[in-house]
């Protein structure tokens, strides 16, 4: 623990959704939900307007649609978000050489190492300056927490949301933490919280009073001892600059190319389970899920998704790998599949009892109304010609994912509001413009093509990215 609040935690506010609102004038001030739009999709980020309806991250997309039927539902544009994240990380790098990114929108900074703060006053000044610079550079807001440890800096940034700054003075930690729920501590998720509740512990002060021996008995040596120290406000983890790239992965090469999408999905889920087994055996968790697909012509595609925090939950990894598969064209067959986890951490912010929770909620399985698919991806009982036509139409419409950027020869830059029955609806607007007009085209209109994301602020280099 430090004697001055010189550890800073930055968390961008509703990052994906806020970036979409900034890029799309017609969505500003309206509920926006970003995530997988398929039948098994989950919410990645919900704007604060959508959260008023009860929508939150990691919620099944079907449930979100029921809660907020009039919200805008968009697929993620990770290239766009990554470009903005690079701008934010550059600003953090100006404060200190010790910047520890946790995800695209979250990082720790050691202000003392950068020589910009050595007491509460200079730390607050640095934090406020950072918030102003982020707004000026990206047009987005971030919340800042300042404290003498990483744990408390992160707690402070949560209390600062949205668009605020909270500083926790060293020496006030136990008084601050005592009445708060045990869920505020890293590593305590829903199931662990329930486990502690059944033992009569609901607040952080309950943990401190229980003592280390009791927590070790309940949670095991490593986690019990760690939780006892955190309950006392003690956390001596240093801010660590970008570590060497580490990952855990598994892959299989098939004797015969796979064509059936259901079989491919099953294999991806199986690989995800094996990958998590290796991940747990190594004592790590990770925040980036990677899918590798080698097609019939030996071309290899790699797709990745970065989560908000590290995980070793097999359900989370399995669902993320499935979402990545949805964006890969497997027409012609698949020779090899692989699933990996990178961005490894020595502990997980997810619930350590997640596996038990998964078992209690069931394995999930296929949707009950899913059409059975045979070899080659043709629905059973469907004429091959009709199936081919339907598949071609589906591929054409899949190009126009809701939220993605397009450009029209006549109308210029816009974004996809939706597509179906051979048509795509586009709203023509861009950052800084007034809300734009909506027009509808045939999905194969030769004058409409995929576009690039435009800069949010000032037109400077570094924000534009291929969506």
Residues catalogued as catalytic: 106
Structure tokens at 377: 């991806």
Q: Which 3 state secondary structure label does DSSP give 423?
A: strand
Whether the CA torsion 80, 85, 90, 91 is positive or negative: it is: positive
**Which residue is listed with tokens 């991940």?**
279
25: alpha, beta or left, given left = phi > 0 and alpha = psi -120 to 50? Answer: alpha
**Which residue is listed with tokens 């704007």?**
47
CA pair distance 400, 147, nearest whole angstrom = 45
Structure tokens at 439: 């027009």
The H-assigned helical ranges of 116-165 are: 120-138, 150-160
Q: Which 3 state secondary structure label does DSSP give 345?
A: strand
- How many CA atoms are closer than 13 Å to the CA of 359, on its beta-carbon side? 3
What's the maximum distance between 2 C-alpha atoms anywhere in the chain? 74
Is residue 132 exposed (0-12), middle (13-18) or buried (19+ Cβ within 10 Å)? exposed
| Sequence-ordered list of residues with C-beta below 8 angstroms from that of 341, at least 6 positions apart, any chain | 247, 248, 249, 275, 276, 279, 285, 286, 288, 289, 290, 317
Inter-residue contact 315 to 354 (CB < 8 Å): yes
Structure tokens at 454: 């435009």
């Amino acid at each position: 623990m430090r004697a001055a609040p010189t550890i800073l935690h930055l968390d961008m506010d509703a990052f994906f959704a806020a970036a979409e609102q900034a890029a799309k004038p017609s969505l500003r001030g309206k509920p926006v939900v970003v995530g997988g739009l398929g039948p098994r999709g989950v919410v990645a980020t919900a704007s604060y307007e959508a959260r008023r309806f009860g929508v939150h991250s990691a919620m099944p997309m079907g449930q979100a649609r029921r809660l907020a039927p009039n919200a805008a539902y968009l697929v993620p544009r990770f290239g766009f978000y990554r470009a903005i994240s690079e701008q934010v990380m550059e600003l953090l790098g100006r404060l200190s050489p010790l910047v520890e990114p946790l995800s695209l929108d979250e990082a720790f900074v050691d202000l003392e190492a950068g020589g910009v703060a050595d007491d509460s006053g200079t730390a607050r000044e640095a934090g406020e300056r950072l918030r102003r610079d982020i707004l000026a550079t990206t047009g987005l807001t971030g919340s800042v927490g300042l404290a003498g440890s990483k744990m408390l800096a992160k707690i402070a940034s949560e209390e600062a949301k949205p668009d605020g700054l909270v500083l926790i003075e060293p020496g006030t930690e136990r008084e601050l933490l005592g009445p708060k729920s045990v869920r505020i501590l890293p590593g305590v998720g829903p199931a662990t919280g329930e486990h502690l509740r059944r033992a009569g512990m609901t607040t952080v002060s309950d943990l401190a009073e229980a003592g280390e021996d009791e927590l070790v008995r309940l949670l095991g040596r490593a986690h019990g001892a760690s939780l006892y120290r955190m309950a006392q406000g003690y956390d001596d983890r240093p801010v660590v600059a970008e570590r060497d790239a580490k990952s855990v992965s598994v892959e299989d090469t098939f004797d015969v190319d796979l064509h059936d999408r259901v079989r491919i999905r099953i294999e991806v889920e199986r690989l995800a389970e094996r990958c998590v087994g290796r991940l747990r055996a190594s004592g790590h968790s990770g925040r980036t899920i990677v899918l590798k697909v080698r097609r019939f012509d030996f071309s290899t595609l790699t797709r990745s998704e970065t989560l908000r925090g590290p995980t070793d939950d097999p359900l989370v990894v399995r669902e993320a790998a499935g979402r990545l598969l949805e964006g890969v064209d497997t027409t012609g067959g698949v020779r090899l599949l692989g699933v990996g986890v990178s961005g490894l951490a020595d502990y997980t912010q997810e619930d350590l009892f997640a596996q038990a929770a998964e078992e209690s909620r069931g394995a999930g399985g296929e949707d009950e109304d899913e059409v059975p698919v045979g070899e080659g991806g043709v629905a059973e009982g469907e004429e091959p010609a009709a199936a081919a036509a339907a598949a071609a139409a589906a591929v054409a419409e899949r190009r126009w994912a809701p939220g993605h950027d397009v450009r029209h020869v006549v109308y210029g830059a816009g974004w996809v509001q939706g597509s179906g029955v051979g048509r795509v609806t586009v709203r023509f607007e861009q950052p800084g413009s007034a809300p734009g007009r909506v027009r509808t085209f045939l999905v194969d209109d030769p004058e409409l093509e995929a576009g690039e994301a435009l800069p949010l602020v000032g037109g400077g280099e570094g924000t534009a990215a291929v969506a």
